[in-house]
Structure 1
Amino acid sequence: MQKQLPPLGWLRTFEAAARHLSFTAAARDLNMTQSAVSQQIKSLEAYLGQPLFLRRPRALELTGAGISYLPVVREAFRTLLRGTRAVTGAQQNAVQVQCNITFAVNWLAPRLPMFQAEHPSVQLNIFTELWEPREMAEGAAVEIRFSLRPSDTVRTELLRSDHYYPVCAPGYEVSLDTLQRTPLYDCSNLLSNWQNWIEDQGLIWEKPPITYSTTYLVSLSVAMAGGGLCLTHDTIARDLIDEGRLVAPFEYRAVVPEAYYLLLSPQAEESPGAIAFAEWVRREIAKTFSG
């Protein structure tokens, strides 16, 4: 049988390249060089006697053979994973969770003791991202994703739509008249931004300087320190406002184009811990905003 199968490493490289449609991203995932990934794919294609990818100038596409082969390879890895866990006695309720770092710190972490009290046998491994990933991380069972367009490759459901608005430290003096002379902070590359919030109210936007960061954690921290105003949304700021660490000085709140989605990988259906965690997230999100 071994002589009829390609090396396992080649198959793993193929799965990563197909998941990202990028040799560079696959190399980053696998801690390999891009040339090593390319060479392994060529070796696998030679072994199979047909191409798996179409090499476009700036992108990869799966060929018909690649499209057919990918689910077979993925299912084989899932079978190996289940069998290995059974043999080694690995904890069946260990759940890998993926989410962005601000959600993890501001919403998830303060509530984790409640989940652990309800499900003491479930071990969570939490992986955080700064930017929205193209796909779920390898091995992740559950993901909470803040996105315009959720994934269409796994089971996806809307978790929460939100509103965004400025916040600052209690006692910080600001008005709409002085707003554009106030230090402003924001998370970069989002549609819920200062320009849209101001223009939605029919105000003139004079493009004042704004300090951007790759995560809301930075701008929220500056605002809490009294350094100015930052934009935020309810999911990551509600607790900070309830605790009196931030205030919302203006009434207007705009709809966030992005939303929070709950993503479940195929292996989540076979994991009682993943199912329990997903149900707990749904319940806690609803409870947080039921008032």
Structure 2
Amino acid sequence: MKLPPLRALPVFEAVARLNSFSLAAEELSVSQSAVSHQIKQLETYLGEKLFWRQGRTLTLTDEGRQYLDAVGSALLQIERASEQLLGREEARLRLSVFSSFAVRWLVPRLPELQRLHPQVELSLEMSTENPVLSDRVADCFITIHRNSPAYSYELLYVERLFPVCSQDYWQRMCRELGRAEGEDGALTPADVARFPLLSTHSIFERAAGDWQAWFQAAEQALPPDARLQHFSHMLLALEAARFHQGIALTNDYMLSSRKDSEDFVRLPCHPVVTGDRFYFAWKTSRRRERGIQILRRWLVDEARRSGLRNVGIDGGA
């Protein structure tokens, strides 16, 4: 077995992660010259330059990024395997998760994870866009894409949108529509269009895309005279609805707590499926790691218990 200079590998990982020779030296309790020597030795062995150095700026080369993906994963597996043999039950995991999913669904449930599995130490990495699946980013992910063959995926939720407003605003709507509050029967798209529509740009990546899709699901066009108020994120549109500013389109995990169900009224209207499917993703080569499997099972169980996984899902992934 022909191996590279093994002492240089954790040095390379530290420099790449911290983006600094001096910070890596401080973390590893060695001199900066020792770090430079190890990196030079590794580059000589590989015959490739791993870093570009321009003044104080340090960046990985393409070869360095490729090497880090493989080496970082291997070092993590060695660490996990060693901890298991040493009898240490702690599992430290970084989970990259969308900010809205984290704030509205995951964070309120973390005390239950800690109660059931105190050995799991979970660190959340917030993501506003779909994350790049890499050990450099996190150990596991909540993602809407299955575009990496190196990863395994467990389906948690098929997203749908439905109209909501505040309790006070619903009373106002009922008065203007001449409708008793307890009256059965669905609102028509024309009924909804009489009121301000709070739109989230990020769902379909275009202005009013969410409401256009909702009206299209009823085989109608968004009325040209509809009063639209635009927001970049669903969290903002939902807060505007909470403060009686109109009707917002939201999804199931955004209204997953008791407080939310008391603050909002889900209008008696049709939903629209966005096409986004939320997955828990982990690197297949790390599938035997106990911490990842504990987190996977807990997420699936919580998604089922809260009704999230039952929405639009027939069976498993």
Would the TM-score normalized by the shorter structure come out above 0.5?
A: yes
The structural deviation recorded for 1:243 is: 2.8
SS across alignment from 2:220:
coil
In structure 2, give the amino acid aligned to 1:112: L
Q: Kindly tell me: are residues 183 and 164 of structure 1, through their superposed partners in 2, closer, same or farther at Cα, counting changes over 3 Å? A: closer
Match of 2:94? 96
Is 1:210 aligned to 2:229, yes or no? yes
Match of 2:177 in 1: none
Counterpart of 2:31? none
- SS of alignment partner, residue 243 of structure 1: helix
Query: 2:315: which partner in 1?
Result: none
Give ranges in structure 1 of 5+ residues lacking alignment: 17-28, 33-42, 53-61
Name the residue aligned to 1:25: none
Measure the CA separation in 2 of the matches of 1:139 and 1:84.
Answer: 22
1:188 partner amino acid: S
With 106-115 and 174-183 compared, the bigger mean Cα shift is at: 174-183
SS at match of 2:265: coil
Which residue number corresponds to residue 171 of structure 1? 168
Tell me the distance in 2 between the aligned counterparts of 1:265 and 1:120: 23
- Give the structure 2 partner of residue 126 of structure 1: 124
* Deviation, structure 1 residue 3: 8.8
Q: What amino acid is aligned across from residue 245 of structure 1 in structure 2?
A: D
Provide the C-alpha distance between the structure 2 equivalents of 1:142 and 1:71, rounded to a whole number of angstroms: 14
Is 1:185 the counterpart of 2:199? The answer is yes
1:195 to 193, 198, 212: 212
Is there any run of 5+ residues in structure 2 with no aligned partner, and where? 21-39, 51-61, 174-186, 312-317
- CA change 1:94–1:7 in 2 (3 A) is closer
User: 1:224: which partner in 2?
Assistant: 242
Q: Is the 8 A contact 2:104 2:256 kept in 1?
A: no
Q: C-alpha separation between the residues in 1 aligned to 2:285 and 2:239?
A: 37
Change beyond 3 A, Cα 1:228–1:120: same
Flag the 1:219–1:12 CA change in 2: closer, same or farther, 3 A.
Answer: same
Q: Kindly report which structure 2 residues correspond to 1:21-170, keeping only aligned pairs within 5 A, or say none.
A: 48-49=46-47, 72-79=70-77, 81-82=79-80, 92-136=90-134, 138=136, 140-145=138-143, 147-170=144-167
Contact 1:224 1:245 in 2 (8 A): yes
Q: Deviations over 1:135-171 (max 9, x none)?
A: 24626333222x2545433111222213211211113
Q: Which moved more, 1:271-280 or 1:77-86?
A: 77-86
Deviations 1:29-56 (A, max 9, x none): 7557xxxxxxxxxx9888644699xxxx
Mapped to 2, the partners of 1:71 and 1:149 lie a distance apart of 18
Query: Could you state the TM-score of these two structures normalised by the residue count of structure 2?
Result: 0.64
Secondary structure at the aligned position of 2:264 is classed as coil
CA RMSD of aligned residues (A): 4.3
Corresponding residue pairs, total? 261
CA contact (8 A) 2:159 2:274 kept: yes
Change (3 A) 1:99 1:227: same
Q: Against the structure 1 CA distance between its residues 282 and 233, is the aligned structure 2 distance closer, same or farther, given a 3 Å change threshold?
A: same
